[in-house]
Amino acid sequence: MAKSSCRWRSVSHIVTVAVLTLTAPLMLSNSTAAQGRAAQQGGAAGQGRGGRGGAPAAGPSDKDTRPYNKRDFNGMWTHNPGAFGLPACPECAEQNPIRIPGYGYFGDVPPRTPEGEQKLQLTKHGRGFEPDSEEAKKIPNLDPAYKRAGLPAYSNDPEARCEMMGLARSIVMGGPDSDMEMVHSQANDRITHNFEWYSEHRDIWLDGRSLPKPGDLLPRVNGYSVGRWDGDTLVVTSTGFDDRQWVDMYGFPISESAVLVERWERPSPNRLRVQLTLTDPVNYTRPWTSTVKTWTLVPKEKTAVGGWGGLFEHRCIPSDEAHFNEFRDHAAGLNK
């Protein structure tokens, strides 16, 4: 069965262009207020490249009682099981108690250092709540970073320019393009982690190599990752990040000195989950732990399109994105 929500991506730009052309006057006003209302109600705002909103799960939904190997992460995993005709997974929705439009790292956001705050203020994005909106006023203790939403046309998001996602952002991404794949090597010396959006990948090395200290090697978009087993939990530590990336779509910065620790578990046959902790003294005054992110295992036969299964190649093509942005900017009143 094809993944119904995104297998037609080859025509998505045509559809989007048509919609933008017809609705340009509406887009001259910021739509994030409507996103906020839907998100607070557990609606679908923030889907696509946005979030995976929904009410927090009451408990595990996987009722499969078959024996399985808790250290086997092989396979394709999704936040959106309904797209494959699979049973619902409430815990695969974002578990942040406050419904914020878009996808994010979330958790207990630490105070930023002066440098971190300065870097944050230089970023512009189109998700979250509008400044001084009624939705934002209803959540007075929400970190101000989530109250800076503007029109996407004014954003300087590196994703929107086809520049980079980054490791943390690829992991916490929600929406129908957020599927991923884990592949254990035959030598059992690494796990290759593939992300559908941007067709990104990284290797988690299990061969005992030492992790480079920040600054030892040239920074990379996804950094350098090594893993070790703590019981049945895979603990992955990564360093060496390119500091032009964002932690998530709200513009949170990350430095070359950052250390990201992921704790991966397979709590049941059809679930995979992770919780991340970011330590970045350049930008934040204490370590930052994310909300728990959960995926559903997708059987291989459910991924097949014309007999060909697996992740789709969802690359960000600069020329395609530039064409889309022409209509986006026109709808926002730019480039007239």
Q: At what angle do helices 12-22 and 318-331 cross, to 10 degrees?
A: 10
| pLDDT tens-digit profile, the chain (336 residues) | 445 444 334 334 444 444 444 444 343 333 333 333 333 333 333 334 444 455 556 578 999 999 999 999 999 999 999 999 999 999 999 999 999 999 999 999 999 999 999 999 999 999 999 998 999 999 999 999 999 999 888 899 999 889 999 999 999 999 888 999 999 999 999 999 999 999 999 999 999 999 998 888 999 999 999 999 999 999 999 999 999 999 999 999 999 999 999 999 999 999 999 999 999 999 999 999 999 999 999 999 998 888 888 898 888 888 888 787 787 777 777 775
Model pLDDT for residues 283-305, shown as the tens digit of each residue:
999 999 999 999 999 999 998 88
Please state whether 224 falls in left (phi above 0), alpha (psi between -120 and 50) or beta. Answer: beta
pTM of the model: 0.83
Model pLDDT for residues 114-123, shown as the tens digit of each residue:
999 999 999 9
Beta strands in 180-336 (DSSP E): 180-184, 190-195, 200-205, 224-230, 233-239, 259-268, 271-279, 288-289, 293-298
Closest CA to 149 of 96, 104, 86: 104
